[in-house]
Amino acid sequence: MTTAPHTRPRHVVVVGGGPAAHRVTESLTARHGGAPSPLRVTVLAEEVHRPYDRVALSRRLDGRADLTLAPQVWDHPAVHLRTGARVVALDPATRTLTLEVAGAREQLGYDELVLATGSTPFVPPVIHHEAARVYRTVEDVDGLVAEIAAVAATHGRPAKVLVIGGGLLGLEAAGGAARLGAQVAVVDLGGWLMGTQLDEGAGQALGRLIGDTGIELHLGTAPEEVLLEEGRVVGVRLVDGRALPADIVVFSVGIRPRDELARAAGLALGERGGVAVDDRCAASADHVWAIGEVAAIGGRCIGLVAPANAMAEVAADRIWGGEAIFPGVDDATKLKLAGIEVASFGDAFGRADGSLEIVYADPARGLYQKIVVSGDARTLLGGMFVGDASPYTALRPLLGRELGAEPAAYLSASGGEGAPTTDLPDDAVVCSCNNVSAGAIKELICGERDEPCTDLTRLKACSRAGTQCGSCTPLVKKILEAELTRAGVEVSRALCEHVSISRAELFESVRILGLRTAEEVLARFATGLGCDICKPVIASILATQTGEYILDGGSGPLQDTNDRALANMQKDGTYSVVPRIPAGEITPARLKVIAEVAEDFGLYTKITGGQRIDLFGARLEQLPLIWRRLVDAGMESGHAYGKSLRTVKSCVGSTWCRYGVQDSVAMAIFLEERYRGLRSPHKLKLGVSGCARECAEARSKDVGVIATEQGWNLYVGGNGGFQPAHAQLLAADLDDDTLVRFIDRYLMFYVRTADRLQRTARWQEELEGGLDHVRDVVCEDSLGLAAELEESMARHVEAYRDEWAATLEDPVRLGRFRSFVNAPGQPDPEVLMVGERGQQRPATQEERALLIAGARLPVRTSQPPGGMG
């Protein structure tokens, strides 16, 4: 008997410590389940950290988040990870590398070499560029966080951060710095933001939304010099001659492939740099492969996750002797910038011959949605979304397929019903980052497996879907729920990780058990300390059921910022004051008090879209003084904050209008005074029109009432916002009493059963049976709940008391309204105002810099907001 000769494992060396290096290592080891492995893998990471998720760097700005990628890869016996190891030379002829580790050099041989060296930030050669920061690594982010805090501590004011670059990373850096309390401005050479991913319409919409967050934009210009004083950054001079103040300058204007190792070794490079590779990810030298941002495939380097993962899989397969080829570039992008949704995929610019673009744009709201289809309007070619990217998740898997409806129906902003999200063909790609199809996900849920994946966490781990950029997670969850429902398995409706039941179940449990404090609810139904999802929900439920002051009983710390201040915070840290003016009807005496308050406190005054008067610019410590005068005049809080009833809009009705057939003003006042202060899953707006001409726009409201000759027509489930919806007719020709009973039932049914932050329109859509079910419950009492719902509303009406009136009577409650605990009554010195059109408004970043420096502001002439006269 002869023994097979011993064959040493082939040595695969991966140069790089980023996501691409992690992915190729994972793929190499996953292809061999036995031991010993025929491969030995050494990973050389220049950074001291284990490979981490650079895509999620912005999370690091919000706290010291651990971004480390799946560490179990490094536990494989065939894998050796060496951190702090820099490769300084490559010799393809001898298949050796020269390393520099802790100041010493050594040689390392390889059988197969994978270059995953990534990229480096590009810093334009402006004067004193070395004084600026970049935004690329964990050290970069941690340094930025520390410097923002140091500037604030040293100068006693927010740091001024100037980000050069309006692309993905630049806006992420800007948004993160703003969340840390910095005053942020962005400079970009393009005429609009994210010019690589967005067309002008989308870029302008994004710019408006970014600007509304307080981030200042300077577009169509570039830096010429970083300004220094005694070695410290004080600003940036632009090529147009302007100087912008700054304590910190961050460059994020693009990346360059780290191809210096390959360049020195004589490997072929791409026209614009990067290691030239073919569709096998093979470089020009034998046994050398390149993946990720350093690889120039098809003539260009690609800085996206999905192509990098695909290259890693191809290279691993080829090293194992397979025949995989690169499938092409998927440059779909979805992200949140400063809380703003942005997404694009496919041929988003409509470059294909004969393609058609279906666009919905609302510049005033910063909303832009576009679908690109083939010339016959059937096949989906691409899409682009800003402000509301909800269609992206459903449409992305349908790329290249025939749509089942008119393209406009897929635009949620224009009132479309949206695309199907669960009945996808099995070969539709759900997760582009990891190339996971709908069929693969369904197989993991209900296939023949010892342990089916019946919860989202396990499904993501098994399929990899949703584990990288996370944009497909909502779709993965919907597929999971649909498949489990088909299989007869109960689907979890947990409110959050701390509360394992749904909002509706929590509402009923609190009601049945008679719980009255936040501590009782948290102890009974939550684990840990709760979070920003469950805590406001608990506070809202208690406010609805007990009718008690919303900041008592331990509920204060649970509330959102606006609820804690009983006012709506504005972009400059001041608050708005909105007295309730039911139906827009106000006496001259009360109007005079509002005018006097506005004058005495220097408040910016504006008529709102809900027939009220909004007073802007009040400091926290001024709120009790302002409300004392308003309450004494018989006015109360208009609840412009919180999730509750806002307004009941009305026309003048039969009182004045020659077309009016019912007294819409009296009905609107009655309804507003009945439902004021009602806490709900989302804000509520009502409208009452005195005739079919509909001057109060009642059908755009959550509850709309329109007068007829025989009584009132009741419409429900309408709203404005990012996803406008028309209210639908629930019942016709109702008398006054029946109308009020039906509205009582409808609102309480919604409050009890809707999910958190779910508008009435979406709630009705998702109820099984939709509007017909609502009609059965509200009008026909199909569930036998009518009396109970009416009783709940009656308790709310009886228990209601104006929150500001209650606050003014209690010195302990008044103690919350101080800007500085150690200096009560002192104004915040960071709040700076300037005059405009006879009123005071917040100063812009440029104006703040001039005011702080003691300079005189330039005279402003009247012109449109865009500066075009």
Structure confidence by residue, pLDDT tens digits, 592-630: 999 999 999 989 899 888 888 998 888 888 899 998 999
Task: Copy the structure tokens of residue 594.
Answer: 């509002």
pLDDT recorded at residue 413? 58
Kindly provide the residue ranges of all beta strands, DSSP E only, lying in 220-328, ordered along the sequence: 223-229, 232-238, 243-245, 248-251, 255-257, 275-277, 288-290, 295-297, 300-301
Q: Is 427 helix (H, G, I), strand (E, B) or coil?
A: coil
Asked if the model's pLDDT at residue 2 lies above 80, the reply is no
Average pLDDT over residues 64-91: 87
- For residue 834, the tally of other CB atoms under 10 A from its CB is 16
| 537 touches 503 (CB < 8 A) | yes
Confidence of residue 858 (pLDDT cuts 50, 70, 90): low
One-letter amino acid at 454 equals T
Give residue 51's pLDDT band: very low, low, confident or very high (50, 70, 90).
confident
Rounded CA gap, 717 and 682, in Å? 12
Which residues make up each annotated binding site for siroheme?
695
pLDDT average, residue stretch 537-558: 78
Higher pLDDT, 233 or 758: 233
Among 67-71, 206-210, 232-236, 550-554, the least confident range: 550-554
**What sign has the CA pseudo-torsion 578, 579, 584, 587?**
negative
> What confidence score (pLDDT) does residue 662 get?
93
Q: pLDDT band at 756, cuts 50/70/90? A: confident
Tokens for 716? Answer: 């429900």
Mean pLDDT of 689-694: 92
Residues facing residue 120 across a β-bridge: 256
Residue 215 is encoded by which pair of tokens?
A: 């981030």
Confidence tier at 826 by pLDDT (50, 70, 90)? low
**Is pLDDT above 90 for 273?**
yes
Count of residues in the chain: 869
Quick check: 136 and 34 in contact, CB under 8 A? no
Please report the sign of the dihedral spanned by the C-alpha atoms of residue 448, residue 453, residue 458, residue 464: positive
pLDDT at 859: 52
Q: Find the helix or strand (DSSP H, E) in which 686 lies.
A: strand 684-689
Neighbour-count burial of 549, counting CB atoms closer than 10 A to its CB (0-12 exposed, 13-18 middle, 19+ buried): middle
Strands 183-188 and 216-219: parallel
pLDDT, average across residues 664-690: 93
Query: What pLDDT is recorded for position 852?
Result: 66
Which pLDDT belongs to residue 417? 45
Query: Where does the pLDDT of residue 59 fall: very low under 50, low under 70, confident under 90, or very high at 90 and above?
Result: confident
Query: Which one has a higher pLDDT value, 784 or 469?
Result: 784
Name the percent of the chain lying above pLDDT 70: 89
CA distance from start to end of the chain? 96
Give the residue from 441, 471, 465 showing the smallest Cα distance to 454.
441
Residues belonging to the binding site are 651, 657, 691, 695
Kindly report which listed range (298-302, 532-536, 610-614) carries the lowest average pLDDT score: 532-536
Share of the chain above pLDDT 90, in %: 39
Q: Choose the weakest-confidence range: 523-532, 742-751, 812-821.
A: 812-821
Query: For residue 583, which of 639, 649, 628 has the smallest C-alpha distance?
Result: 649
| In the predicted structure, residue 32 carries a pLDDT above the cut 70 | no
Alpha carbons 869 and 866: distance in angstroms, whole number: 9
Phi, psi (deg, nearest 5) at residue 51: -50, 135
| Residue range 820-849: mean pLDDT, rounded | 65
Under the banding of pLDDT at 50, 70 and 90, the label for residue 420 is very low
Torsion angles phi and psi, residue 139, rounded to 5: -60, -40
Query: What domains appear along the chain, each with residue ranges and CATH number?
Result: 10-119+257-319 (3.50.50.60), 129-253 (3.50.50.60), 339-420 (3.30.390), 421-485 (1.10.10.1100), 503-559 (no CATH)
Residue 817 pLDDT exceeds 80: no
Q: Which whole number is the average pLDDT over 286-297?
A: 95
Q: Which of 67-71, 395-399, 483-487 has the lowest mean pLDDT?
A: 483-487
Handedness of CA 632, 633, 635, 641 (dihedral sign): negative
Range from 94-103, 152-161, 611-620 carrying the lowest mean pLDDT: 611-620
Distance of CA 423 to the CA centre of its chain: 26
CA distance 570 to 631: 23
* Contacts for 364 with CB less than 8 Å, ≥ 6 apart: none
pLDDT confidence band for 336 (50 / 70 / 90): low
CA–CA separation, 261 and 804 (whole Å): 68
Cα Rg of the chain (Å, integer): 31
Q: Which of 56, 44, 142 is nearest to 96 (CA)?
A: 44
Binding residues for [4Fe-4S] cluster: 651, 657, 691, 695
Residue 828 confidence (pLDDT) above 70: no
Mean pLDDT of the chain: 85
Determine how many CB atoms are found less than 10 A away from the CB of residue 722: 18
**751-762 burial by CB neighbour count: b if 16+ within 10 A, else e?**
bbbbbbebbbbb
Q: How confident is the model at residue 233 (pLDDT cuts 50, 70, 90)?
A: very high
**Predicted confidence (pLDDT) at residue 16 exceeds the cutoff of 90:** yes
* C-alpha triplet 440, 323, 330: angle, nearest 5°: 55
Per-residue confidence band for 867, with pLDDT thresholds at 50, 70 and 90: very low
Alpha carbon 435 to chain centroid, angstroms? 24
Assess whether pLDDT exceeds 70 at residue 423: no
For residue 576, what pLDDT is reported?
87
Distance CA 106, CA 25 (A): 23
Give the full edge-to-edge strand order of the sheet including 160-164: 133-134, 248-251, 160-164, 183-188, 216-219
Higher pLDDT, residue 329 or 414: 329
- What pLDDT band is residue 268 in, cutting at 50, 70 and 90? very high
| Average pLDDT score over residue span 16-39 | 83
Determine the pLDDT at residue 853: 64
Band of residue 429 on the pLDDT scale cut at 50, 70, 90: confident
